[in-house]
């Protein structure tokens, strides 16, 4: 069989990225331009600023991805582009760049789901085995996804309010930690040997859904009350208490689902899967359980285009093609 070289482009949030992946499994080049510095002073991603940066960066990352791969457009088989979910203005810039590039070089385009991308980041590390359970945790998502085969996604649980990463970023804000605060809270939790006891939100006994807004409020209330009493507030103890609660709920529900659906592999995906506390706990419980557990290296956990090319390759192989009327879908379902 002929090798497939796929160009992936990602621009759904605050990274502009392009990558070339061989056969959906091997990274040839992977270029990411991050905008974090521009959004920091606003404490979050500002959509209009994101769009402007994407406009400035998209051709640069695209050319750089080709250059690093030492390839020309004619060596490619398709262009895979994040269709959604994400910020509509941001999505449209990547989509229009993908369309222009594909049209100019006579290549097909394949609209790809961002979360499918996060999951398929794992396929760049080791072959995915089914049934597979994916815990997707990012700034915008918290989902347990059951996959019975390539390209099939069943969301068995999701957040009913804040995403895990969103909760991290909001708690960070309360503790005066700059955006995105997730990595710093993770680090502080590790440096603390004491934890404030915050609630674990389990919802109904059989539910695989999550809820993090109550936990976030508990942290805010704790700090507010402590301040009013004039007592000492130790942000390290708060960080560890918060992280312990998030990690316990995420890992307990993931283990229960892995058992119920008898999965052959468990993977973690999305920005929050970079979390050391979460990785360590999931590694421990699935090691004890005897189910292979994987999480991609940091660089592939956060937004990138190699994951889009990896997911898109499977869609392309299954015959999916998008038309020139491809549009951004901010609320696209998996
Ligand atoms: O997947 P991602 O790069 O972008 C989205 O698609 O949302 O995830 C970004 C999120 C942010 O909320 C960030 O705070 C969080 O992932 N994050 C972390 C860690 N690293 C990134 N949260 C907790 N611990 C970390 N080490
Ligand atoms: Zn993401």
pLDDT per residue as tens digits for the range 184-205: 999 999 999 999 999 999 999 9
Percent of the chain as helix, strand, coil, to the nearest 5: 45, 20, 35
Give the model's pLDDT for residue 179.
Answer: 84
What CATH number is given to the structural domain containing 74? 3.30.420.40
User: Is the C-beta atom of 271 inside 6 A of ligand 1?
Assistant: yes
Q: Say yes or no: 87 and 160 in one domain.
A: no
pLDDT at 154: 97
CA of 73 to the centre of ligand 2 (A): 27
Contact 44, 163 (CB under 8 A): no
Confirm whether 187 is domain-assigned: yes
Output the average pLDDT for the chain: 95
Which residue minimizes the CA distance to atom 14 of ligand 1? Answer: 182
> ipTM of the predicted structure?
0.97
Ligand 1 in contact with 303 (CB < 6 A)? yes
d(CA 157, CA 209): 4
Pairing outcome for strands 154-158 and 142-147: antiparallel
State pLDDT tens for residues 12-30.
Answer: 988 999 999 999 999 999 9
Residues 107 and 143 in one domain: no
Structure tokens at 137: 């945790």
Given a cut of 90, is residue 214 above it in pLDDT?
yes
CA-to-CA dists, residue 327 to 83, 91, 210, 305, angstroms: 7, 9, 30, 18
Ligand 1, atom 2, residue with closest C-alpha? 271
Residues 203, 99 within the same domain: no
State whether 68 and 145 are in the same domain.
Answer: no
Cα dihedral 166, 172, 176, 178, rounded to 10, equals -70
Rounded Cα gap, residues 54 and 275, in angstroms: 27
Binding-site residues for Fe cation, in ranges, read: 114, 118, 303
Please report whether residue 126 resides in a domain. Answer: no
Counted domains in the chain: 2
* Same domain membership, residue 280 and residue 137: yes
277 and 149, same structural domain?
Answer: yes
Name the residue among 329, 310, 321, 322 with its Cα closest to residue 19: 310
Instruction: Give the chain's length.
Output: 334
Q: Does the bond joining 85 to the residue before it have cis omega, within 30 degrees of 0?
A: yes
Ligand 1 and 304: CB distance under 6 A: no
Verify that 81 and 214 share a domain, yes or no: no
The pLDDT of residue 42: 78
* Residue 115 domain flag: yes
Please tell me if the CB atom of residue 274 comes closer than 6 angstroms to any atom of ligand 1. yes
What residues form DSSP beta bridges with 16?
33
Query: Domain containing 49: what range?
Result: 5-120+301-317
> Is the pLDDT reported for residue 43 higher than 80?
no
pLDDT score at 262: 98
Distance 302 CA to ligand 2 centre (A): 6
Q: In the chain, pLDDT over 70 holds for what percent of residues? A: 100
CA of 271 to the centre of ligand 2 (A): 6
pLDDT digits (tens, 9 = 90+) for 102-155: 999 999 999 999 999 999 999 999 999 999 999 999 988 999 999 999 999 999
């Amino acid at each position: 069989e002929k090798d497939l070289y796929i160009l992936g482009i990602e621009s759904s949030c605050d990274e502009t990225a392009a990558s070339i992946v061989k056969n959906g499994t091997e990274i040839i080049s992977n270029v990411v331009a991050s905008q974090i510095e521009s959004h920091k002073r606003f404490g979050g991603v500002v959509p209009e600023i994101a769009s402007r940066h994407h406009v400035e960066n998209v051709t640069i990352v695209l050319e750089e991805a080709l250059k690093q791969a030492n390839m020309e457009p004619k060596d490619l088989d398709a262009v895979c582009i994040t269709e959604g979910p994400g910020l509509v203005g941001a999505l449209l810039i990547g989509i229009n760049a993908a369309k222009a590039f594909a049209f100019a070089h006579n290549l097909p385009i394949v609209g790809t789901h961002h979360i499918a991308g996060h999951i398929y980041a794992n396929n760049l590390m080791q072959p995915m085995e089914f049934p597979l359970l994916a815990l997707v945790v990012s700034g915008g998502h918290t989902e347990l996804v059951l996959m019975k085969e390539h390209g099939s996604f069943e969301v068995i649980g999701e957040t009913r309010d804040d995403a895990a990463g969103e909760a991290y970023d909001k708690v960070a804000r309360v503790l005066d930690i700059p955006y995105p605060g997730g990595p710093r809270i993770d680090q502080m939790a590790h440096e603390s040997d004491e934890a404030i006891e915050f609630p674990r939100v389990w919802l109904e006994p059989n539910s695989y859904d999550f809820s993090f807004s109550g936990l976030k409020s508990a942290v805010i209330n704790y700090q507010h009350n402590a301040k009013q009493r004039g007592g000492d507030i130790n942000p390290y103890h708060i960080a560890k208490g918060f992280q312990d609660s998030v990690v316990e709920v995420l890992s307990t529900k993931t283990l229960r689902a892995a058992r119920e659906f008898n999965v052959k592999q468990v993977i973690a995906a999305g920005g929050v899967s970079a979390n050391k506390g979460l990785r360590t706990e999931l590694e421990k419980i699935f090691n004890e359980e005897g189910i292979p557990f994987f999480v991609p290296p940091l660089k592939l956990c956060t937004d990138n285009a190699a994951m889009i090319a990896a997911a898109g390759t499977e869609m392309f192989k299954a015959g999916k093609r998008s038309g020139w009327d491809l549009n951004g879908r901010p609320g696209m379902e998996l």
